[in-house]
Amino acid sequence: MIRNPVPWPNGAKCAACFTLDMDAESLLHLAHPQQAHSMVSAASMLRYGPDVAVPRILDTYRHYGIRQTFFVPGWCAERYPYAVEAMVREGHEVSAHGYMHEHPNEQSDADERHWLLRSLSAVQSVTGAPSAGWRAPLYRFSHRSAELLLEAGVTYDASLMGDDIPYLIETPRGTLLELPSHWGMDDWPPFMHSSELEFEMPIQSAARAWEAWWEEFEAMWEFGGLWVPVWHPFLSGRLARWRHTHRMIGKMLDKGQVWFAPMRDIAAHVCACMGNGTWAPRTEQPLTLPRAAPGTETAFAVPPAEETRR
């Protein structure tokens, strides 16, 4: 069902990486810049991430001997350096995820570049190393993002949803490696409930949420895909949920032939395969629709056929 699976290391059937986005209260400050300081309960829910969940998550990874990836907004790295330092100390990857969780596709050209660079430098100031990767806050990757990431020296992006395996995004500056996931692997739909953040889902049990994630895992395992949960310490790191995940990681390891690795290692492996000719990815041109003329924002702009054809 996957026509061109990646040859994963040591004959692994699939690659797997839990990506935990440690957003903390950046979400609140972005949504309510004037009132966030007084939203104490919502802030406490979000702070649970760095203060309670991250140490628990790191314990599980240490228990199983796996290294994974955290995406952290620059402001969160500056506010919770101890959480980020613990991730780095234990060999996990920490890559950037905006500065205050701002949305690149709602910014001007200059603002997107400014906040991307500020995000990267803030994370590096705590981790001591450049970010290998990037995830756009709330998947809000813009028509400029791929080119700006290449310009900034970022190796891979993890914001898009266009395949089950890595692929390349073509830009005038070169190609950017995409390590995709999708909303079905995100923990907001099953777990997030916050009136302050206007995302009020009927909360599911950990077992029910994992039913879907396990189906995704089995399919990726069977066909050679890339399994990437997009989770948040303040949601999935809650006690009953992480207890369930701790057990499920054991189950995945028992199944065998799963390559758990940080995203940066997965990117390096994919680049090595491209370099030695053992695998060639699909290349995608970003779908760029011409902007509607002023005053005609409601009309569809129909691109010429050659722009959408691949």
For Zn ion, give the closer residue by CB, 119 or 155. Answer: 119
Ramachandran region of residue 101, left (φ > 0), alpha (ψ -120 to 50) or beta?
left
Q: Between 161 and 253, whose beta carbon lies closer to Zn ion? A: 161
- State the minimum distance, in angstroms, from the CB of residue 116 to Zn ion: 15
Measured CA to CA, the distance from residue 42 to residue 29 in angstroms comes to 11
Rounded to the nearest whole angstrom, what is the least distance from the CB of residue 139 to Zn ion in the complex? 9
Query: What phi and psi, each to the nearest 5 degrees, are found at residue 254?
Result: -65, -35
Other CB atoms within 10 A of residue 291 CB? 10
The least CB distance from residue 21 to Zn ion, in Å, is 4
The region, left, alpha or beta by phi > 0 then psi within -120 to 50, assigned to residue 98 is left
To Zn ion, the closest distance from the beta carbon of 99 in angstroms equals 12
Work out how close the CB of 97 gets to Zn ion at its nearest, in angstroms, rounded to a whole number: 6
Residue 309 CA to residue 176 CA, distance in Å, equals: 20
Other Cβ atoms less than 10 A from the Cβ of 269: the count is 19
Cβ closest to Zn ion, residue 27 vs residue 165: 27
**Distance between CA 99 and CA 75 in Å, rounded?**
5
Q: Which is nearer to Zn ion, 140 or 282 (CB)?
A: 140
Q: Which is nearer to Zn ion, 19 or 127 (CB)?
A: 19
Q: Using CB under 5 A as the criterion, which residues of the chain lie in contact with Zn ion when the complex forms? A: 21, 23, 137
